[in-house]
Amino acid sequence: MNHPRCDQTQAWAALKGHFEAHGRDFDVRDAFARDPLRFASMSVEAPEVFADLSKNRLDTATQKFLLDLARECGVEARRDAMFKGEPINLTEGRAVQHAALRAPRGAGLFSDDVHGVLDAMLAYAETIRDTATSGIRHVVNIGIGGSDLGPQMVVPALDAFVHPGITFHFVSNVDGHDITPVLRKLKPAETLFIIASKTFTTQETMANAQAAKAWFLANGGTDTHKHFVGATTNIQAAAAFGISTTFGFWDWVGGRYSLWSAIGLPIALAVGADHFRELLAGAHAMDQHFAKTPAAKNLPLLLGLLDVWYRNFHGFTSRSVAPYHQGLKRLPAYLQQLEMESNGKCVDLAGASLPYATSPVVWGEPGTNGQHAYFQMLHQGTDVIPVEFILVKRPTHALTDLHTKLLANGLAQSQALMLGKTPLQAAAEKAPTASKELDAQTLARHRTFPGNRPSTTLMLEQLTPRSLGALVALYEHRVFTSGAVWGINSFDQWGVELGKALCSDLLPRLASGDVGGLDGSTAGLMQRLRG
Ligand code: F6P
């Protein structure tokens, strides 16, 4: 597939000119004053997700140039190649087929394999969820990165659907402070350990798995075959560990795209087979939207292009995600891996260095907590950081008063970011806590908000397995889009290798004290650690 690099396209040049002429000084407030229908024209409906893009530094001309850019960079052609199963993960010679994991039976690639494992895994999950028979009260998922963050994000998000008789724990860090307090709560006979690792070689996961097995045997556990189960592509290694029940998946499922596969076992155990299938169905609906909806109304495509606009033309270096739903408290962490491991690359598909920026930093906390921590900087700091609000219309609890307050807060923050407050408005207000010593003008300057700070609002009717599936798939395809524009491989992660290799070298040195050949800082730190 031969497409020009994004910065060599006509659209890129047009966007540069457009940015200088209209983008740099674009004011969303003026745009609303000029166009009262802006909200309607800049909102997009996708399966389960409504998106308001109108508070962004964006107009129809910008969108048109961005859509031209997508076309020239071959985003849709790359998308079609992904869905067809072509080996678009060039550096590993692999297809990228997480969408096949959520296609209905008979509809996607590898359907027999996918549904064979899915059926077996869901049937197994139901036997464990029958706690009267299984005796299982605690499930411990041991995995890291993509073998942890997906289930760890989804299980609390779907709390309203989770089996009330089973507690879910997630152990990922090789720091013993992670697993120790978890083990303290467990009894071997009531516990199921899932060893989740695509490769079944990851240091952290293997170390925690060994620690769990040792604890199990030391505390009277006998039947490891019943209490340890594997989710992996490396069934042989799982067997060598002593696991006889394993749910497999395939090399065309990337770790950070794997919650739909056997890696989703904790989710299936938590919410049951029907809800797991709903999660898949929601994601599949978003796949269809991404694959088939014309570009101008294609939400993942539009969001990915907006990311390019902000990163490469406005020069914004990060994006903050603010889910106004406590259940989505791990979504920012999940998105960090999804976006930054996928698009944190500095060479193109041919290995040539890139002269433009790629992945932004993605970060955030649930609202309203973030408001009382870092929102100060979002409103008055020197950096402009686009914010993504996620609002959920209907809660799954009955505390409607709290929910109304939550929604009002979310709306107010995006409104405040956009509207700001002029020095004149600030001067006209009473500020009871302000110092009486300061003159009014100085005070007003401290209390001024620049405004015109961009945000997107994604809205769900309710947080259900189906809507969560759609939301996560939306993010996957959005990351695909910006990665395709940038011409990078969003599906490898060579950047994690160097640290792993150096760690293998340092591990024996920490024991022996051998600092020969090490750089001065590492040698000095090691000596202090050993001292
Ligand atoms: O740290 C890199 C990484 O390979 C991630 O991409 C992956 O999700 C994680 O490690 C865990 O890998 P595995 O599932 O093979 O244990």
User: pLDDT tens digits for 231-260?
Assistant: 999 999 999 999 999 999 999 999 999 999
Residue 306 and residue 454 in contact, taking contact as beta carbons nearer than 8 Å: no
Q: Which of 372, 393, 405, 446 is catalytic?
A: 372
- 497 as an active site residue: the answer is no
How much is the pTM? 0.97
Which is more confidently placed, 531 or 519? 519
145: Cβ below 6 Å to ligand 1? yes
The closest alpha carbon to 317, from 394, 389, 240, 384, belongs to 384
Which is more confidently placed, 1 or 205? 205
- 341 as an active site residue: the answer is yes
Q: Which residues, other chains included, contact 400 with Cβ-Cβ below 8 Å and sequence gap of 6+?
A: none
pLDDT of residue 355: 98
Closest-CA residue, ligand 1 atom 1, reads: 496
- Does residue 298 surpass a pLDDT of 90? yes
Helix (H, G, I), strand (E, B) or coil at 343: helix
pLDDT of residue 531: 86
- Does residue 1 surpass a pLDDT of 80? no
User: pLDDT tens digits for 473-502?
Assistant: 999 999 999 999 999 999 999 999 999 999
141: Cβ below 6 Å to ligand 1? no
pLDDT of residue 21: 97
Give whole-number Cα distances, 52 to 23, 68, 80, 361, in Å: 19, 22, 27, 22
The closest alpha carbon to 312, from 4, 3, 7, 2, belongs to 7
User: pLDDT tens digits for 54-106?
Assistant: 999 999 999 999 999 999 999 999 999 999 999 999 999 999 999 999 999 99
Closest-CA residue, ligand 1 atom 16, reads: 197
| Mean pLDDT, the chain, whole residue set | 97
- 372 as an active site residue: the answer is yes
Q: What is the mean pLDDT of residues 183-209?
A: 97
342: Cβ below 6 Å to ligand 1? no
202: Cβ below 6 Å to ligand 1? yes
pLDDT of residue 439: 92
Residue 269 and residue 237 in contact, taking contact as beta carbons nearer than 8 Å: no
